[in-house]
Amino acid sequence: MAEQSANPLHRPLPDGVVPADVVARTEKRWIVIMATMLAVMMAIVVVTGITSALHPSSNVEVVDATNLHLAGEFVESNLGTAIEPDGSATVRIIAEQYDFVPRCVRVPADTPVKFRLTSADVVHGFLLPDTNVNTMVVPGFVAEVRTRFDAPGDYAMPCHEFCGLGHQAMWAHVSVEPKSGSRT
């Protein structure tokens, strides 16, 4: 073998075969880089999950999307905010092309709030900016998200899954009101 020059540009090119130790060293470096990236991403998932309750909904619950309006939990009279006996709030919303029903919901501040959503047609998305509320709304399933609003305020809630030509107009509002006198 020819003597190797210190300048890599002057070294002869390997004739089609990269030495095994070079391959092993390169692979080891990439394994370390990939493992580090994986560890960082896992740490972000775990930390945001624990500190900010950012996680996918933990329940898998099915519902018949073909008769939402006729029977069961999502009939029209049952939509909107309900205050449970324990003082917490449950909000039921149907997402459909191209609206949330009801379009505006009122919830009390400083109270546990449970959103239960389902879709009447295609996949929609439900997001309240600056909160942990962010879920897909899939027909046939109930998406459940729990949160708590510290202070009164207004949240615009956009549909964030492309659901058709009217997608960009699919907005609604969550109005967080002072704790007393809250009922929608």
Residue 95 to residue 122: CA distance in whole angstroms: 9
- Nearer to ligand CUA by Cβ, of 103 and 183: the residue is 103
- Nearer to ligand CUA by Cβ, of 89 and 172: the residue is 172
Cβ 131 vs Cβ 137: under 8 Å? no
Residue 125 to residue 160: CA distance in whole angstroms: 5
Task: Candidates 24-32, 58-66, 102-110, 154-162: pick the segment binding ligand CUA (CB under 6 A).
Answer: 154-162
Told to check if 159 binds ligand CUA by CB under 6 A, we report yes
Query: How big, in percent rounded to 5, are the helix, strand and coil portions of the chain?
Result: 25, 30, 45
Told to check if 124 binds ligand CUA by CB under 6 A, we report yes
Task: Candidates 22-30, 66-74, 128-136, 158-166: pick the segment binding ligand CUA (CB under 6 A).
Answer: 158-166
Q: Which of the residues 52 through 111 are near ligand CUA (CB under 6 A)?
A: 95, 98
Number of residues that bind ligand CUA (CB under 6 A): 9
- Least Cβ distance, residue 120 to ligand CUA (angstroms): 11
- Those residues whose C-beta lies under 8 Å from the C-beta of residue 111, and which sit 6 or more positions away, are 87, 88, 89, 148, 149, 179, 182
Told to check if 162 binds ligand CUA by CB under 6 A, we report yes
Residue 178 to residue 43: CA distance in whole angstroms: 36
The residue ranges that bind ligand CUA (CB under 6 A) are 95, 98, 124, 159, 161-163, 167, 170
